[in-house]
Amino acid sequence: MIKHIDQWLFKTAPSSRLATLRILCGLYATIFLVARAESFWTTADLPARQVEGVGVLWFLDSPLSASIFHLAFLLTIVLGVAFTLGWRFRLVGPTFSLLFLFVATYRLSFGHVIHTEHLIALHLLVLGFTQSGDALSLGRRAQKNDAERQSAVYGWPIQIMILLTVITYVLAGISKVQHGGWDWLTGDVLRNQVAYDNLRKELLGSPHSPFGGWLVRFGWLFPPAAIATSIVEIGAFVALANQQRLRWAFALSAWAFHVGVVLTMAISFPYPLSFVAYAPLFAVEQIWSTKLVTRLLRRKTYL
């Protein structure tokens, strides 16, 4: 058993695969911060009475100075660009990943705990504290065949990223069944949740899904939808197998699930919807395989 775990965890991978994941995740995180800049920026102006530290900021019982948080947020965006480019990665990698975790957690410490940033924060921590800057990096002189180097040093961080992705889905699926019980599998909990969520948002004047409100009249649709959701989430462990068909089946099913959530409840999980969340499951370094990109990466100059 231990031998199989060891073989799975310390699987070799090319340095370019881990580096490509750094680029994809770093680019997503930086765009996310810019796109949600208003939400992050105004967090510093929320009433002090709303502060209730969560996660790594569990000890927080009073807000930080607005100027300090604003500075940290701007620095996180700047470092996000450097992280993506792989510039001075030994310093930038850990710093950016920790700052992203900090600003994301701080925003959630004012009474509105959501979990859209959890998985990307975990993936960034893995990338930031490993050797994902060894290839495809700005300011680092490329060595011959640098991007093709195979080693478990580049493989185990990817395996951890896959494991983290699987755990988040399995825990979500188990939680639904534990709290919803049989009513979850019969579709009653899901149907009521869709109806409640859209009605509440409509009464509050928030964006909602007219499609979801219309859909609840068809009760027969929800049992198969609830069962399918449980299969996708609890069955996420199939992604641990090194079989591309199973990984594609999970990734596409999970992505379709998130699309369904958007359509029925206007709730967006941008990281999985971008498909970057599932990138560790695949040989993403192949996106650089075009002739032009290959020539550029093989030049003996600074990348």
* Model confidence pLDDT, tens digit, residues 190-225: 888 888 888 888 787 778 888 888 888 888 888 898
The average confidence (pLDDT) of the chain is: 88
- Rounded alpha-carbon distances, angstroms, from residue 118 to 35, 103, 263, 301: 17, 12, 22, 37
Tell me, what's the pLDDT at 300? 43
Query: pLDDT grade, residue 95 (50/70/90)?
Result: very high
Query: pLDDT grade, residue 165 (50/70/90)?
Result: very high
Per-residue pLDDT at 111 exceeds 80: no
Give me the amino acid identity at 211.
Answer: F
Query: pLDDT grade, residue 26 (50/70/90)?
Result: very high
Per-residue pLDDT at 154 exceeds 70: yes
Query: pLDDT grade, residue 5 (50/70/90)?
Result: confident
Tens-digit pLDDT profile for residues 39-64? 999 998 999 888 998 989 999 989 99
DSSP 140: S
Instruction: Report the alpha-carbon distance of residue 125 to residue 166 in Å, rounded.
Output: 16
Tell me, what's the pLDDT at 145? 57
Prediction pTM value: 0.90
| Percent of the chain at pLDDT exceeding 90 | 58
Q: What is the 3-state secondary structure (H, E, C) of 185-230?
A: HCCHHHHHHHHHHHHHHHHHCCCCCHHHHHHCCCHHHHHHHHHHHH
| 120-132 as b/e: b if 16+ CB within 10 A | bbbbbbbbbebbb
Tell me, what's the pLDDT at 298? 57
